[in-house]
Amino acid sequence: MNSTPSFAPGEMVHALDAIYNDGSLPDVEEGALLAAAGTRGVVVKAGHVEAAPDVEIFLVRFEGPDAVLGPPVGCFADELGQPAPSH
Protein backbone atom coordinates (compact mmCIF):
# COMPACT_ATOMS: atom_id res chain seq x y z
CA MET A 1 0.00 0.00 0.00
CA ASN A 2 1.37 3.39 -1.01
CA SER A 3 1.29 5.86 1.87
CA THR A 4 2.38 9.21 0.46
CA PRO A 5 1.81 12.11 2.82
CA SER A 6 -0.93 14.62 2.18
CA PHE A 7 -0.85 18.24 3.26
CA ALA A 8 -3.65 20.75 3.80
CA PRO A 9 -3.68 24.49 3.03
CA GLY A 10 -2.19 26.42 5.96
CA GLU A 11 0.01 23.51 7.01
CA MET A 12 3.70 24.20 7.68
CA VAL A 13 6.11 22.01 5.71
CA HIS A 14 9.79 21.94 4.77
CA ALA A 15 11.66 21.00 1.60
CA LEU A 16 13.21 17.55 1.97
CA ASP A 17 15.76 18.31 -0.76
CA ALA A 18 16.70 21.44 -2.70
CA ILE A 19 13.92 22.52 -5.09
CA TYR A 20 14.90 24.21 -8.37
CA ASN A 21 12.81 26.01 -10.99
CA ASP A 22 11.98 23.51 -13.71
CA GLY A 23 10.76 26.32 -15.94
CA SER A 24 7.28 26.52 -14.43
CA LEU A 25 7.96 29.93 -12.81
CA PRO A 26 8.33 32.30 -15.75
CA ASP A 27 9.74 35.23 -13.74
CA VAL A 28 12.54 33.10 -12.25
CA GLU A 29 15.54 31.80 -14.19
CA GLU A 30 15.22 28.11 -15.09
CA GLY A 31 17.41 26.04 -12.77
CA ALA A 32 17.38 28.71 -10.04
CA LEU A 33 17.21 27.49 -6.44
CA LEU A 34 13.68 28.01 -5.10
CA ALA A 35 14.12 26.37 -1.69
CA ALA A 36 17.20 24.83 -0.09
CA ALA A 37 16.77 21.53 1.74
CA GLY A 38 15.15 22.23 5.10
CA THR A 39 13.57 25.53 4.05
CA ARG A 40 10.29 26.13 5.83
CA GLY A 41 7.14 26.92 3.89
CA VAL A 42 3.37 26.96 4.07
CA VAL A 43 0.95 25.08 1.83
CA VAL A 44 -1.37 27.57 0.12
CA LYS A 45 -3.29 25.17 -2.12
CA ALA A 46 -3.62 21.43 -2.69
CA GLY A 47 -4.78 19.76 -5.88
CA HIS A 48 -4.05 17.06 -8.43
CA VAL A 49 -2.05 16.81 -11.63
CA GLU A 50 -4.55 17.18 -14.47
CA ALA A 51 -3.05 14.37 -16.56
CA ALA A 52 -2.75 12.08 -13.49
CA PRO A 53 -5.64 12.68 -11.06
CA ASP A 54 -4.17 10.25 -8.51
CA VAL A 55 -1.04 12.43 -8.13
CA GLU A 56 -1.33 15.25 -5.58
CA ILE A 57 0.47 18.55 -6.05
CA PHE A 58 0.82 21.31 -3.49
CA LEU A 59 1.45 25.02 -3.94
CA VAL A 60 3.93 26.04 -1.26
CA ARG A 61 5.31 29.48 -0.42
CA PHE A 62 8.81 29.03 1.04
CA GLU A 63 10.52 31.50 3.36
CA GLY A 64 13.36 33.51 1.88
CA PRO A 65 16.49 34.52 3.81
CA ASP A 66 14.63 37.66 4.89
CA ALA A 67 11.74 35.52 6.31
CA VAL A 68 9.44 36.84 3.55
CA LEU A 69 7.37 34.22 1.73
CA GLY A 70 8.34 33.69 -1.90
CA PRO A 71 6.08 32.93 -4.87
CA PRO A 72 3.97 29.75 -4.83
CA VAL A 73 5.94 26.71 -5.98
CA GLY A 74 4.33 23.47 -7.16
CA CYS A 75 5.65 20.49 -5.15
CA PHE A 76 4.90 16.80 -5.04
CA ALA A 77 4.23 15.14 -1.67
CA ASP A 78 7.57 13.30 -1.73
CA GLU A 79 9.41 16.65 -1.91
CA LEU A 80 7.89 17.86 1.36
CA GLY A 81 8.08 16.93 5.02
CA GLN A 82 6.62 18.21 8.23
CA PRO A 83 8.90 20.52 10.21
CA ALA A 84 10.10 19.32 13.60
CA PRO A 85 7.99 20.71 16.42
CA SER A 86 9.48 23.82 18.01
CA HIS A 87 10.04 23.83 21.76
pTM of model > 0.75: yes
Q: What is the DSSP string of the chain?
A: --------TT-EEEESS-EE--S--TTS-TT-EEE-TT-EEEEEEEEEETTEEEEEEEEEEEE-TTS-EEEEEEEEGGGEEPPPPP-
At residue 26, the pLDDT reads 87
Helix, strand and coil percent figures for the chain, each rounded to 5: 5, 45, 50
32-82, pLDDT tens digit by residue? Answer: 999 999 999 999 999 998 899 899 999 999 999 898 999 999 999 999 998
pLDDT tens string 4-21? 678 999 999 999 999 999
What's the confidence (pLDDT) of residue 1? 41
Predicted local confidence at residue 41, as pLDDT: 96
Q: Characterize the bridge pairing of strands 52-63 and 40-49.
A: antiparallel
Give the separation between CA 56 and CA 58, rounded to whole angstroms: 7
